[in-house]
Amino acid sequence: MTEERIARLRTHRNNIDRYRRLLKTNLSEIERQYLEKRLSEEQAAMEINLSAVEPLPTMVGPK
């Protein structure tokens, strides 16, 4: 996994944590809807990045 991909995943995770914390506070309905949308988008982006991870090469033993 590249450093760039790790940094993107870390950013998504931090954003998800921040949105979850904010959703626990006193918000207007519009603010809540906005944060729920952003949370959903961040989770989807993180899933896409995780699914795009290249599999590790398999080691083939002697024949």
Q: Is 26 a domain residue?
A: yes
Residues whose CB falls within 8 Å of the CB of residue 13, separated by 6 or more in sequence, listed in order: 46
pLDDT tens-place string over residues 16-63: 999 999 999 999 999 999 999 999 999 999 999 888 766 655 666 565
Tokens of 34: 């906005």
More confidently predicted of 5 and 34: 34
- Domain presence at residue 42: yes
Mean pLDDT score, 3-11: 90
What's this model's pTM, rounded to 2 decimal places? Answer: 0.77
- Predicted confidence at residue 1, as pLDDT, reads 59
Does residue 58 lie in a domain region?
no
Structural domain boundaries, residue 12:
3-51
pLDDT of residue 18: 97
What's the structural domain count of the chain? Answer: 1
Runs of H (alpha helix) within the chain = 3-23, 29-51
Residue 63, domain member (yes or no)? no
